């Protein structure tokens, strides 16, 4: 029993570090509704990471004071679907199609939270959006494909700050808590260092999109630092994610917007 618990904890520690990416891999924005209508459709001929390869670093744009960052980079439409290509780094030749959905909305302490879920991966996260940024509170992660455990983050992690500005950086300390077998609580502290690296233009199915690259260095208090990078575009939300475990790239979006 003890050995089983320890193995479970090891898997969960790794999952906490990539939770923000899994969450963002399921999020996008109503503005993409317009882009979809304008012709962004699935393309079977587009090679994996073609969109990433099309990206060009641009001079930072100045958005108007009333720019609605929360709704330009954050989804709340329960009918939305985000279609991605996914490849794990232990087998990059195995490229799979996965779909992210917004499963439900709930209210905690007077704040709206949304549960984003990728059925094919059995991964989900509970997040909220505010005028100053995006926050993650909890994730659900499978162990051995049959056991699903909730990881509570205290405090919740702010993985994006609004307004998004190049060279802006911040640190987040948090402790992930897992309750095993209903009574055993296991905690894992982490420190995440976020930095907005640059702005970019990229092509998504023939349409130009503008976005931001945010790097995340994760210290799991075990002597190792893990580097990850996420690209968030105005409209599609997260369009590309490169983590320790996988590469994820947006292929298409379906949604009605907020």
The CATH number of whichever domain residue 83 belongs to comes to 2.40.360
Helix (H) or strand (E) segment spanning residue 71: helix 69-72
Q: How far apart are CA 102 and CA 118, in angstroms?
A: 9
Terminal C-alpha separation, the chain: 47
Q: How far apart are CA 52 and CA 6, in angstroms?
A: 38
Give the pLDDT means over successive 10-residue stretches in the chain (258 positions).
38 41 40 31 53 83 85 82 90 93 94 91 89 91 62 94 96 92 87 96 85 93 89 86 89 67
156 lies in which domain range? Answer: 2-254
- pLDDT value for 146: 53
pTM of the model: 0.76
DSSP 127: E
- pLDDT value for 237: 83
What's the number of domains the chain is made of? 1
- HSE-CB for 107 with a 13 A CA cutoff: 1
Radius of gyration from C-alpha coordinates of the chain: 18
Cβ atoms of 149 and 143 closer than 8 Å: yes
The 10 Å Cβ neighbour count of residue 136 is 25
CA distances to 1, 12, 21, 185, 188 from 179, in Å: 15, 11, 23, 4, 12
């Amino acid at each position: 029993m003890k050995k089983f618990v320890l193995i479970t904890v090891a898997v969960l520690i790794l999952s906490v570090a990539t939770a923000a990416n899994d969450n963002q891999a399921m999020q996008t924005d109503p503005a993409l509704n317009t882009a979809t209508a304008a012709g962004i459709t699935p393309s079977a001929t587009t090679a994996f990471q073609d969109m990433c390869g099309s990206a060009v670093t641009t001079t930072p744009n100045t958005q108007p004071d009333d720019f609605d960052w929360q709704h330009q980079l954050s989804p709340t439409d329960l009918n939305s679907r985000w279609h991605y290509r996914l490849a794990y780094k232990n087998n990059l030749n195995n490229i799979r199609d996965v779909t992210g959905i917004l499963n439900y909305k709930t209210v905690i302490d007077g704040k709206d939270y949304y549960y984003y879920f990728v059925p094919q991966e059995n991964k989900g996260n509970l997040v909220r959006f505010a005028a100053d940024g995006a926050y993650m509170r909890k994730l659900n992660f499978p162990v051995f494909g049959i056991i699903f455990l909730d990881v509570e983050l205290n405090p919740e992690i702010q993985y994006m700050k609004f307004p998004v500005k190049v060279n802006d950086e911040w640190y987040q300390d948090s402790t992930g808590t897992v309750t095993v077998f209903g009574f055993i609580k296991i905690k894992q502290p982490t420190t995440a260092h976020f930095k907005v690296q640059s702005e970019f233009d990229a092509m998504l199915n023939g349409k130009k999109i503008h976005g931001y690259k945010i790097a995340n260095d994760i210290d799991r208090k075990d002597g190792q630092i893990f580097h990850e990078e996420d690209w968030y575009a105005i409209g599609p939300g997260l369009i590309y994610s490169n983590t320790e475990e996988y590469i994820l790239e947006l292929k298409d979006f379906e949604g009605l917007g907020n």
